[in-house]
Amino acid sequence: MEGSEYMVFTDPPSRLILPAVFSCSHTLALMFPTEPAAVNNGFGVLLKNRSFMLLWIGQLLSQLADKVFFVLTVALLENYPPPTGLAENSMYSTLMVAFTIPAILFGSAGGVFVDRLPKKLIMVGSDVVRGLLTVAIPFLPRKFLILLILTFAVSTVTQFFAPAEQASIPLLVQRENLLAANALFSSTMMGALIVGFAIGEPILSWAKDLLGPQYGQELVVAMLYLLSAGVMQPIQFQESIAETDRPTINPWADLKQGLRYLQKNRLVLNAMLQLVTLYCVFAALTVLAIRLAAEYGLKEKQFGFFLAAAGVGMVMGAAILGHWGDKLHRQPLPLIGFLIMAVVLGVFTFTNKLAVALVLCAFLGIGAAFIGVPMQTLIQQQTPPSMHGKVFGFQNHAVNIALSAPLAITGPITDVLGLRNVLVGMSVIVAVIGVWAWQHTRRVLQTW
């Protein structure tokens, strides 16, 4: 690996939150006898980091705005006459497609610009553009096609915000505090997902009553985006001129450079594959949750209880890692996470009590946090700043594609095999992937 144009490792593998490192700790100690152990100072240090806190608050506001915007578009459909030959349910599906397609088309492209332009400019600019697009909705003709175009545009701009946000964390946080930083971001992301959809309708109803039905709802959503932009404006980034003042942008060449980097850096690629696997599992569970609701005596539309319980578990897992990461950094966290998820999926087939099912979902979320937070931290630690945008853009792209496939095939497979057989099959697959990833990472480290 030495001498590669892409491999820029300033710290040894003993600093990584990865099972293989811990199993090979004696060898690594011989390789790097003077390297201190990784130290995680928990959330306390982060709370004193003004720039990081501004980024975190801006991310939280932007995430909330995204969720409330989606609720807004669904609510607005009642004011938009359906096109000829398009039923109401088809309008909802088409709207979701317009919201999802940009993530698949432009996920990697957004990361290319992150490496070429100032990250604060991209994040603040993305928020401002999304705010202006939202404000424009009530002033445009009430045609379904126009709403689709605006939804597509807002979702497209979001693809630039996400990789810029991920690439900003290592610039604002010292390496030893990245685990806690990612734990905080992961927990607030899940919190925004749960709270955003829960409070979206009440917020929009309140805005409609207070500010008027013509533009009140759109104005509140736009203000969330603009408030996020204002919060992040004072952030000071330590970006080199080489990162922000490059003369030309060649997306195709940059994408190929990012792919070559991932091919050479199998440690980062392995971490990314584990993240993609995690999102595949959660996408499948989103579909299965509808069937689970009926199994436990709930209405199908109440499937959100299971997702909310898993979200609470992820928040708990992220909090554990963020606060006690210094005591857990020698444990094979991703392997533990995969095995927890595998056990939970298997146990689901043996219980018929709703309370037990919700507790199991919470443990599922804890297992997911044990995978997601360390793997995201590893990618940030082992990716040089000049490659941040490309790598995180590609990660964003891969995750969005991974979310789409299970959503499409889980339902038909469940119809054929049955809910419990699918859960058992997923349990086995998750366990096998966890063990494979652990063993593969050990082999990668042994080649260094």
Q: Tell me: the pLDDT tens digits for 24-77?
A: 333 223 222 323 334 445 677 888 888 999 999 999 899 889 888 988 888 888
Predicted local confidence at residue 197, as pLDDT: 62
**CB distance 195 to 97 below 8 Å:** no
**E strands along 124-226, which residues?**
none
Q: Please tell me the distance from the alpha carbon of residue 190 to that of residue 298, in angstroms, as a whole number.
A: 23
Residue 441 has pLDDT above 90, yes or no: no
Cβ-based neighbours of 402, under 8 Å, separated by 6 or more:
276, 277, 279, 280, 283
**CB distance 38 to 15 below 8 Å:** yes
Mean of the per-residue pLDDT values of the chain: 76
Architecture of domain 10-39+265-448 in this structure:
Up-down Bundle (1.20)
Residue 383 has pLDDT above 70, yes or no: yes
Residue 153 has pLDDT above 90, yes or no: yes
For domain 43-236, give its CATH number from 1.20.1250.20, 3.30.70.20, 1.10.3720.10, 1.10.1740.10: 1.20.1250.20
Selection from 68-82, 192-206, 379-393, 401-415 with the highest mean pLDDT = 68-82
Residue 247 has pLDDT above 50, yes or no: no
H-assigned helices in 333-418: 333-347, 354-382, 388-417
Q: Please tell me the distance from the alpha carbon of residue 374 to that of residue 369, in angstroms, as a whole number.
A: 8
Predicted local confidence at residue 14, as pLDDT: 34
Amino acid in position 95:
L
Rg (CA), the chain: 22
pLDDT digits (tens, 9 = 90+) for 176-210: 788 778 877 877 776 676 666 667 778 888 888 88
Cβ-based neighbours of 437, under 8 Å, separated by 6 or more:
270, 273, 274, 277, 334, 335, 338
- Which range (70-74, 96-100, 303-307, 433-437) has the least confidence? 303-307
- Which range (94-103, 232-241, 362-371) has the least confidence? 232-241
Domain with CATH 1.20.1250.20 in the chain: 10-39+265-448, 43-236
Per-residue confidence band for 269, with pLDDT thresholds at 50, 70 and 90: confident
